[in-house]
Amino acid sequence: MKSTLTINSANSTPPSKGMFGKLPVAPAYRVVFDTIEKLVMTGKLKPGDILPTETELAERFDINRSTLREGIRLLEQNGLVVRGAAKRLTVSVPHIVDLTSRISNALILHDVTFRELWETYIILEPALAKLAAENATEEIIKKLEDNLESMIACGEDADCFNKLDYEFHDLVAEAACNRPMLIARQPISILMMPAAHAILPRLNTYDRVIVAHRKILDAIRAHDQSEASEWMHKHTTDFKRGYESLGFDAGEHLVNSGFDASAGIKPQA
Amino acid sequence: MKSTLTINSANSTPPSKGMFGKLPVAPAYRVVFDTIEKLVMTGKLKPGDILPTETELAERFDINRSTLREGIRLLEQNGLVVRGAAKRLTVSVPHIVDLTSRISNALILHDVTFRELWETYIILEPALAKLAAENATEEIIKKLEDNLESMIACGEDADCFNKLDYEFHDLVAEAACNRPMLIARQPISILMMPAAHAILPRLNTYDRVIVAHRKILDAIRAHDQSEASEWMHKHTTDFKRGYESLGFDAGEHLVNSGFDASAGIKPQA
DNA sequence: GTTGTACAATTGTCGGACAATGAATGGTGC
DNA sequence: GCACCATTCATTGTCCGACAATTGTACAAC
């Protein structure tokens, strides 16, 4: 951190280099991004606002349109602007799904282990179930009921079952009305999907899953927070037990769950 | 989800709209992004690999350099490439801090409430303390000790104290060796900072904080997981009590904690 | 009111160009 | 031979101008 710097250190290197670590002269396209990002974050630009055309923006910033466009790409990737109906740039709010898929990609690249995912999941899922029992609306309870019915109708069609299982937990998370926790859970859920797909057909846990889901749903409907939390805890622990009884090592990397895992879901981007 | 769609629904809307959701004809710069992203995610490009020059890449993709550069910007903002030492593009893995600051920005724009932050925080912090008690290395315990000493030496310098408080919790989270949880915690921690700054000098809770930190540190050092978890729970609850006793409403929006909150930290990006 | 058409605006893409800057190279002195 | 310096070169950041494709708009026709 070079906490102590003396100006008069005329011993080794000329003072023009070495100290004064390069002051942040950002390329123009980055300045464009920073500027507009700040405008959005400070509320001077609100979601839904339509930006001027590229030509006009370039004129105002006094840069070339190509350069401006590079800045726009940064904003676009950040989800702060989208090219709206009329192709015009409109200010937007980053979608949760964009964030979560980005996070899961990053976790994959960081070689996250199943142990880490699991440790977090076993914390979040019961907490979300508890909050769901507190906050669930009639509407979402209806969706949960539909989900459970479909799952029963599913029989032992593993693909169908897994999809509905994933959806059930997603709905519970949504019912909790807590976005930070939702964002934390989603990437983990995505990354654990391959494991879920591997477990179900080999261990034949269909019945156990349905029983657990029903208990959880009942608890949510009854606003019984501790019951919801406890059953979700059991249910999630079951999942880990299944994982381990298949001979997987929880410390093992998940690298090759790979790209399709994150790209496979993206429900309605 | 429009699960059932019949072709012959010639009743209301013409079939050319409504169904056939826009087929994915992506602009070239986006194809560049998708292509290279996939190469990274599938491991065909590994972190540290140096990409060809812009001119060469443009030639290979058979597009103009300007167009290619727009694609590069998308990758850059995603953290998948950085312009390395020699200005050459280098494949990289997204830094955690980039993710977390993006998440906190998104949460701000989504008008997240203190209630949501709190509900998540009270779950994560004890869990992290528990894991820290399990996994903390000597090295990080040393850092925690240093932090506690500095905090005591800090006296009632609120700025110094808050900074060290923030750092302490960061260190505990780091000690837990769990990146999903780390990523989940960090944005919340960032967003709650303004609240922490408001509470401390007005309620004079310096002593209570130090006592709690010492208890937590002792528990981590002794690998006493439940003790670490419990004290962290108390400590975090204290924080909320402070927040409420200042008359804030937990359901209140945090919009105007605004931009500086997220930009203020960024330790060493 | 709906349909169709002509026109204008805007974006996506292209080709070429150049200054600044870091890297590589080669010459020079010891 | 090795260290040091100047030159050359490659590459990026930026600019300019241009054009096809697409889309919004205005207006005419039914």
Using an 8 Å CB-CB cutoff, list chain A residues near B73: 29, 70-71, 73-74, 77
Look at residue A202 in the predicted model and tell me its pLDDT.
Answer: 81
Look at residue B252 in the predicted model and tell me its pLDDT.
Answer: 67
What residue type is assigned to position A137 of the chain?
T
Look at residue B2 in the predicted model and tell me its pLDDT.
Answer: 31
Q: Do B129 and B266 touch, CB atoms closer than 8 A?
A: no
What mean pLDDT, rounded, does chain B reach? 83
What is the rounded average pLDDT of the residues B199-228? Answer: 91
End-to-end CA distance of chain A: 42
A44 in contact with B, Cβ within 8 Å: no
Q: Which bases of chain D are under 7 A from a protein CB atom? A: 10-18, 23-25
CA–CA dist A76, B70 (Å, integer): 11
Q: Tokens standing for B13?
A: 């809307």
What residue type is assigned to position A108 of the chain?
I
Instruction: Return all residues near A143 (Cβ < 8 A) that are at least 6 apart.
Output: A171
For residue B14, name the pLDDT band (cuts at 50, 70, 90): very low
Q: With 80 as the cut, is the pLDDT of residue B251 above it?
A: no
Q: Tokens standing for B91?
A: 């494949």
| Distance C11 C1' – B234 CA (angstroms) | 57
Q: For the purposes of burial, counting CB atoms within 10 Å of the CB of B14, is it exposed (0-12), middle (13-18) or buried (19 or more)? A: exposed
For residue B255, name the pLDDT band (cuts at 50, 70, 90): low
Would you call B96 helix, strand, or coil by DSSP? Answer: helix
Q: Do A50 and A89 touch, CB atoms closer than 8 A?
A: yes
By mean pLDDT, which of A33-47, B17-31, B62-76 is the weakest? B17-31
CA–CA dist A225, B211 (Å, integer): 32
* pLDDT string in tens for chain A (269-residue length): 333 223 333 333 333 333 444 455 788 999 999 999 999 999 899 898 889 999 999 999 999 999 999 999 999 999 999 986 667 899 999 999 899 999 999 999 999 999 999 999 999 999 999 999 999 999 999 999 999 999 999 888 888 999 999 999 999 999 999 999 999 999 999 999 988 888 887 887 888 899 999 999 999 999 999 999 999 999 999 888 888 887 777 666 665 554 443 443 333 32
Give the DSSP letter string of A52-120: PPHHHHHHHHTS-HHHHHHHHHHHHHHTSEEE-TTS-EEE----HHHHHHHHHHHHHHTT-BHHHHHHH
Look at residue A252 in the predicted model and tell me its pLDDT.
Answer: 67
B231 CA to centre of own chain: 24
Nearest residue on chain A to B39, judged by CA atoms? A259
**Cβ atoms within 10 Å, residue B2:** 7
CA–CA dist A220, A222 (Å, integer): 5
Pick the residue of A30, A36, A63, A73 with the most B CBs within 10 A to test the interface with B by mutation: A73
Cα separations in angstroms, B63 against A35, B52, B56: 29, 15, 10
Task: Answer whether any strand D atom is within 7 A of the Cβ of B69.
Answer: yes
**Cβ atoms within 10 Å, residue B63:** 17
Calculate ∠ Cα B262-B268-B269, nearest 5°. Answer: 65
Task: Answer whether any strand C atom is within 7 A of the Cβ of A54.
Answer: yes
CA–CA dist A176, A128 (Å, integer): 6
Residue A158: phi and psi, rounded to 5, are -60, -45
Look at residue B265 in the predicted model and tell me its pLDDT.
Answer: 34
CA trace torsion A220, A223, A225, A231 (10° rounding): -30
What are the residue ranges of helices labelled H in chain B?
A: 28-41, 54-61, 65-78, 96-109, 114-135, 138-154, 158-175, 179-203, 206-221, 225-245, 258-265
Look at residue B199 in the predicted model and tell me its pLDDT.
Answer: 84
Give the DSSP letter string of A150-204: HHHHHTT-HHHHHHHHHHHHHHHHHHTT-HHHHHHHHHHHHHHHHHHHHHHHHHT
What is the rounded average pLDDT of the residues B196-219? Answer: 89
Higher pLDDT, A204 or B178: B178
What residue type is assigned to position B93 of the chain?
V
Tell which B residues from 103 to 132 touch A, by Cβ distance under 8 Å.
103, 105-110, 112, 116-117, 119-120, 123-124, 127, 131
CA–CA dist B119, B240 (Å, integer): 10
Please tell me the number of Cα atoms within 13 Å of A96 on its side-chain side.
17
Instruction: Return all residues near B173 (Cβ < 8 A) that are at least 6 apart.
Output: B128, B132, B181, B182, B185, B186, B189
- Residue of A76, A117, A262 with shortest CB distance to B180: A117
CA–CA dist B113, B134 (Å, integer): 32
Q: Tokens standing for B35?
A: 């292509």
Nucleotide showing the shortest C1' distance to residue A65 CA: D15
Residue closest to A119 by CA, chosen among B125, B180, B163: B180
List of domains in chain A: 28-91 (1.10.10.10), 97-265 (1.20.120.530)
What is the rounded average pLDDT of the residues B217-243? Answer: 94
Would you call B113 helix, strand, or coil by DSSP? Answer: strand
Helix (H) / strand (E) element for B81: namely strand B81-83
Angstroms from A211 CA to nearest CA on chain B: 26
B69 CA to centre of own chain: 27
Q: What angle separates helix A206-221 from helix A114-135, to the nearest 10 degrees? A: 40
